[in-house]
Chains A and B, each alone.
With several copies, the nearest count.
Chain A
């Protein structure tokens, strides 16, 4: 996984929400809107690190029968349909265990996945996954949180791909404001990290993106996008309205991440 390293936009989608085919369409839109990496979330029955928006999306996707192997294969299908940017599989640990750690990496590799993020696998428990990650060359993305403190150095120094900074205490979700201390936190993380440092959790406004971009190498946007998908989901599922919905999604995304990008003018074109 090679990353530009600055002003990165990393969107998050729940695989299968509201339907696997639509997830591919959305990924293509995001790529067109300038995404640098796609985080493909595997829906889970007990998403401990997630707020209500992603919980609801997971429930919708589980109703579609989405599973971890399916989600990985969906990444493979994205490639076939033209997604070129790196794809990270975001999954809780338990499904990985049930699939089998080796099978998981093998299947991910086979489907040209570029990395793995397991939110409930902290550094101390990650040794077996790290080993397989090294063997397969699929980076395991690490997270640091405002509570990490003296753990930051240890985690940052071993980070692969990019380092995911959790903006604030809490689960995923949209937040009106981000904590004041975030700049110092990011500065400390950057001091130890050899890979790009991105920020996620709560980012839902272009003003937040504008401020953050000075202090990190990119942003992860999850709940805000998933919420938009939820809003559009009926239209995304109907052939006649799908394209309009995809356009509106793109429009929403471009506005949100405009501070990161130059020349993103699709939205204005649509308006015209």
Chain B
């Protein structure tokens, strides 16, 4: 039986808590509170109630009619996390952690954000549950995701620009952790993905598995069987683990898709499992992008939400035991899928999700018509539309958007 992490927060050799001593007791407190909450029916009911009544779950399962026809291969389905309140799967986790923080008596939230989706989710739940919220965001990402910055501010959160490093998600996470070290007595650090020290990878998985739980039930109801392949994009890995987890012990092919940026043979990618090596980042033993001396290197992706040099330790574990296959998709392929989904199905996906879609299209094309592929459409692309238009215009001044 699949039963990780162990009590030390280890997924095989991955995971753990590699943090300054100051954070050890706060982590222990969270772990204790989490373990109690997870077996407390009233907590679960509160969480499910918010998902239903506030975030609009269950999210739909959509059959990709047109693309399935086009690909002439496996039948393609989307789990529509883009239909969540605030537009991505991140809210599932934010609701869970906010309720846990409330249970622990903490009224101030700290969050880091890359694409801004987790920042918006954190700011949202802070507003809804009457808490304060401070969001750290790399200055580069602030520029890339202006819309989400506005949203966070409107929601009443304080957005703190981070100027260190590449000024993206990794650096925002560093700053968030530093701020947390200083304020751990009355702040709750709400991590946005299945990364960080134990118990975060477990906690976030527990709050994201709703994706896979729902999808599995919906899929069986729709198709009368399990999907043959399940695909999700992997930044930190929260939508992927949420999607995969309920299928881990089933006979289902699981594929995680990392960002290959300008190509995994260039220095410009964020393909952590594909190209990374074992090490410690943000409190957790996992795969990461680093140089031979253990300095973490700067990742690159067109997608702010995948632009992260580490990956959740459970993914490192799942890769190491061969249960999940991790592949990668370039900027260009993702952009292509981004456009294709908009034009063929009328859904503008987050550029993160477009990575999963690109791979899913490739897979479906090669499979027979009685097979099925289920993709986690982790978020909507409103936040990306402007930037992608610029990319597309840049790429070919005339080919696109003639009017």
**Besides the known contacts A48-B282, A92-B294, A94-B288, 16 further A-B residue pairs in the complex with CB atoms under 8 A apart:** A44-B295, A46-B174, A67-B295, A98-B290, A120-B20, A124-B8, A124-B16, A143-B21, A149-B25, A151-B24, A166-B20, A169-B22, A169-B183, A169-B185, A170-B22, A171-B178
Judging by beta carbons under 8 Å apart, are A48 and B177 in contact?
yes
Judging by beta carbons under 8 Å apart, are B22 and A166 in contact?
yes
Judging by beta carbons under 8 Å apart, are B22 and A146 in contact?
yes
Judging by beta carbons under 8 Å apart, are A93 and B18 in contact?
yes
Distance to closest chain A CB from B290 (angstroms): 7
Q: A97-B280, A97-B294, A122-B24 are in contact. Are A49 and B181 (CB under 8 A)?
A: yes
Judging by beta carbons under 8 Å apart, are A120 and B19 in contact?
yes
Judging by beta carbons under 8 Å apart, are B170 and A46 in contact?
yes
Instruction: Write out the residue numbers on chain B whose beta carbons fall within 8 Å of the beta carbon of A97.
Output: 278-280, 294
Judging by beta carbons under 8 Å apart, are B294 and A98 in contact?
yes
B281: interface (CB < 8 Å): yes
Q: Which residues of B contact A (CB under 8 A)?
A: 8, 16-26, 164-165, 170, 174, 177-178, 181-185, 277-283, 288, 290, 292-297
For A56, the closest partner residue in chain B by CB is B164
A68: interface (CB < 8 Å): yes
Q: How many inter-chain contacts with C-beta < 8 Å in the A-B complex?
A: 122
**A55, A94, A121, A155: the one within 8 Å of B281 (CB):** A94
For A62, the closest partner residue in chain B by CB is B295
A229: interface (CB < 8 Å): no
14 contacts between A and B (CB under 8 A): A44-B295, A49-B181, A69-B293, A94-B279, A97-B280, A98-B277, A120-B19, A120-B283, A122-B19, A122-B20, A122-B24, A123-B21, A123-B24, A170-B181
Judging by beta carbons under 8 Å apart, are A166 and B21 in contact?
yes
A199: interface (CB < 8 Å): no
Q: Which residues of A contact B (CB under 8 A)?
A: 44-46, 48-51, 55, 62, 67-69, 92-99, 119-125, 142-149, 151, 155, 166, 169-171
Instruction: Write out the residue numbers on chain B whose beta carbons fall within 8 Å of the beta carbon of A51.
Output: 178
**A120, A123, A146: the one within 8 Å of B280 (CB):** A120
Judging by beta carbons under 8 Å apart, are A122 and B21 in contact?
yes
Distance to closest chain B CB from A239 (angstroms): 30
Instruction: Write out the residue numbers on chain A whose beta carbons fall within 8 Å of the beta carbon of B288.
Output: 94
Instruction: Write out the residue numbers on chain B whose beta carbons fall within 8 Å of the beta carbon of A144.
Output: 21
**A45, A119, A120, A125: the one within 8 Å of B296 (CB):** A45
Instruction: Write out the residue numbers on chain B whose beta carbons fall within 8 Å of the beta carbon of A166.
Output: 20-22
Distance to closest chain B CB from A178 (angstroms): 14
Instruction: Write out the residue numbers on chain B whose beta carbons fall within 8 Å of the beta carbon of A170.
Output: 22, 178, 181-182
For B279, the closest partner residue in chain A by CB is A94
Instruction: Write out the residue numbers on chain B whose beta carbons fall within 8 Å of the beta carbon of A146.
Output: 22
Q: A46-B281, A95-B294 are in contact. Are A148 and B16 (CB under 8 A)?
A: no
**B24, B277, B280, B293: the one within 8 Å of A99 (CB):** B293
Judging by beta carbons under 8 Å apart, are B20 and A145 in contact?
yes
For B25, the closest partner residue in chain A by CB is A147
Instruction: Write out the residue numbers on chain B whose beta carbons fall within 8 Å of the beta carbon of A48.
Output: 19-20, 174, 177-178, 181, 282-283
A68 to B290, CA, bound (A): 14
Nearest 6 CB-CB pairings of A with B = A98-B294, A95-B294, A170-B182, A145-B22, A67-B293, A45-B295
